[in-house]
């Protein structure tokens, strides 16, 4: 069989692999034990890794030979991305991984043999690329051998952390000096790589991707984690429909809270003559009726992206209104002065009365809260102290009324002395007994 395959060219061999994959269908799966199925999965991962290593090294060889330029007069990355519907970043990663394997042949051979998985190979080549330039070829070969051995017991994340250990083993006499020099070089590379990108995913989210030098990133991580820790959840933990929050979701909430606090305090520098703000455009008719008709929409001024009605309802609770009078061809004729719905005097009274988020169990401070209209502004509610409460962004989202007056939702009520209370939905408490935040009871 090996001799027969040896007479085939690369295209014929790939066609054979393709045909074998066609035959590996679910209805052919005839494994009698769980252990056999587990072993099969391990074999598949290893085989896929070998093929992936071949793909990467082939891409690197094509890049080096300029075959794409000779054939198509374009770059390898551009051609690969367009021909295979990859993003330029995905195509570049394949080429870059192959170049790393070509630079360190022992790692390339291990990837083709399946003893090192693709993610491990990328981690290893990244570590080897950071080794001091003072190391000679023999030392680099020794380092490759050691890293292949480490791959048998370490995953890719652990392999990336072995640079210092590798230097200690390869050059114990000069390790401290070489490590200090390496860290300085690493810092310079980190500074040149720093970036922050925002990309819409087409499904209502924005993907945030970036790179920061490690010390600067640590400061950001500590601040976001502090905001995440401050956003403790309260009574709704009893709600069977309450969303489960992963650590990553809590960090996302922390980042949002940090930005919200920055916006409220107006500490950001002006851009284009105004402080940064979210700007939503919609007609006056839609503004007054927005929350009674699910078909009514709004859009962000910056990029025209549509915004859900529930988001607009939340933003309208404590927003600035900028009326714009339009002529017959929709040209702006007059722009009024910005008028804040919740005035500074009302805001001060709210903070004095509520002392923070009024949701039982939540300890968000006044500065981390938003003003919420109990009877919505769009439903005729007034902007007055007896119709307002302070809630953190999280609880604002679950308290904002829906268009269905009979919906089983969280509600705000007021005691006779004006103190706000929270009434759970029936699914949490069939009797819907109102709850008061502990700060109101301890205050008295």
Whole-number pLDDT of residue 97 = 94
- Contact 120/114 with Cβ under 8 angstroms? no
- Contact 163/129 with Cβ under 8 angstroms? no
Rounded Cα–Cα distance for residues 259 and 224 (Å): 10
Cβ neighbors of 244 (< 8 A, separation 6 or more) are none
- Contact 210/198 with Cβ under 8 angstroms? no
Count of all residues that appear for the chain in the document: 444
Q: Report which of 312, 364, 374 is spatially closest to residue 342, judged by C-alpha positions.
A: 374
Structure tokens at 195: 């970036």
Whole-number pLDDT of residue 141 = 93
Rounded Cα–Cα distance for residues 93 and 86 (Å): 11
Whole-number pLDDT of residue 420 = 92
Task: Give the distance, in angstroms, between the CA of residue 23 and the centroid of all CA atoms in the same chain.
Answer: 39
DSSP code for 269 = P
Whole-number pLDDT of residue 107 = 94
Whole-number pLDDT of residue 324 = 45
3-state secondary structure of 283: coil
Whole-number pLDDT of residue 184 = 80
Backbone conformation region of residue 315, classed left if phi is above 0, alpha if psi is from -120 to 50, else beta? alpha
Whole-number pLDDT of residue 235 = 65
Backbone conformation region of residue 433, classed left if phi is above 0, alpha if psi is from -120 to 50, else beta? beta
Q: Report which of 292, 310, 267 is spatially closest to residue 399, judged by C-alpha positions.
A: 310
Neighbours of 119 (CB within 10 A): 15
Tens-binned pLDDT, residue by residue, of the chain (444 aa): 555 666 778 888 888 888 888 777 766 667 678 888 888 889 999 999 999 999 999 999 999 999 999 988 889 999 999 899 988 889 999 999 999 999 999 999 999 999 999 999 999 999 898 888 888 899 999 999 999 999 999 999 899 888 778 888 887 777 777 777 777 877 888 888 888 888 887 777 888 888 888 888 888 888 888 888 776 666 666 676 767 778 888 888 888 888 877 766 666 665 434 444 555 555 556 555 544 454 445 544 444 456 666 666 666 555 555 444 444 444 343 333 333 357 777 777 888 888 888 988 888 888 778 888 888 776 777 778 888 899 888 888 777 655 666 777 888 999 888 899 998 888 888 888 998 988 888 654
């Amino acid at each position: 069989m090996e001799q027969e395959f040896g007479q085939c060219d690369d295209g014929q061999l790939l066609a054979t692999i393709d045909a074998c994959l066609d035959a590996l269908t679910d209805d052919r799966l005839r494994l009698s034990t769980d252990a056999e199925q587990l072993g099969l999965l391990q074999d598949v991962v290893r085989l896929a890794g070998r093929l992936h290593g071949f793909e990467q090294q082939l891409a690197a060889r094509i890049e080096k030979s300029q075959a794409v330029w000779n054939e198509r007069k374009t770059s390898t990355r551009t051609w690969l991305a367009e021909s295979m519907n990859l993003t330029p970043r995905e195509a570049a990663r394949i080429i870059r991984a192959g170049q790393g394997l070509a630079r360190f042949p022992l790692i390339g051979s291990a990837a083709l043999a399946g003893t090192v998985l693709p993610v491990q190979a990328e981690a290893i080549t990244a570590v080897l690329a950071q080794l001091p330039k003072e190391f000679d070829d023999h030392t680099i070969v020794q380092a490759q051998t050691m890293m292949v051995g480490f791959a048998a017991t370490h995953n890719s994340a652990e392999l990336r952390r072995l640079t210092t250990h590798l230097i200690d083993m390869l050059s114990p006499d000069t390790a401290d000096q070489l490590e200090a020099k390496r860290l300085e070089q690493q810092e310079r590379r980190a500074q040149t790589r720093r970036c922050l990108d925002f990309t819409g995913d087409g499904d209502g989210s924005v993907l945030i991707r970036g790179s920061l030098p490690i010390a600067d990133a640590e400061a950001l991580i500590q601040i976001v984690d502090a905001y995440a820790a401050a956003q403790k959840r309260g009574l709704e933990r009893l709600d069977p429909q309450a969303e489960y929050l992963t650590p990553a979701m809590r960090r996302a909430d922390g980042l949002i809270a940090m930005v919200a606090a920055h916006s409220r305090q107006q500490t950001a520098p002006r851009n284009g003559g105004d402080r940064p703000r979210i700007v939503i455009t919609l007609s006056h008719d839609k503004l007054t009726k927005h929350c009674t008709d699910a078909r009514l929409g709004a859009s962000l001024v910056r990029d025209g992206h549509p915004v859900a009605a529930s988001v607009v309802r939340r933003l309208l609770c404590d927003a600035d209104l900028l009326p714009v009078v339009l002529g017959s061809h929709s040209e702006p004729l007059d722009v009024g002065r910005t008028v804040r719905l919740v005035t500074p005097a009302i805001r001060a009274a709210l903070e004095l009365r509520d002392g923070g988020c009024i949701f039982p169990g939540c300890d968000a401070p006044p500065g981390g809260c938003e003003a919420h209209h109990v009877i919505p502004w769009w439903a005729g509610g007034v902007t007055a102290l007896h119709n307002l409460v302070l809630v953190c962004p999280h609880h604002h989202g679950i308290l904002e009324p829906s268009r269905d007056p009979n919906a089983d939702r969280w509600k705000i009520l007021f005691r006779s002395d004006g103190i706000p209370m929270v009434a759970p939905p029936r699914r949490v408490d069939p009797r819907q007994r109102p709850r008061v935040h502990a700060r109101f009871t301890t205050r008295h």
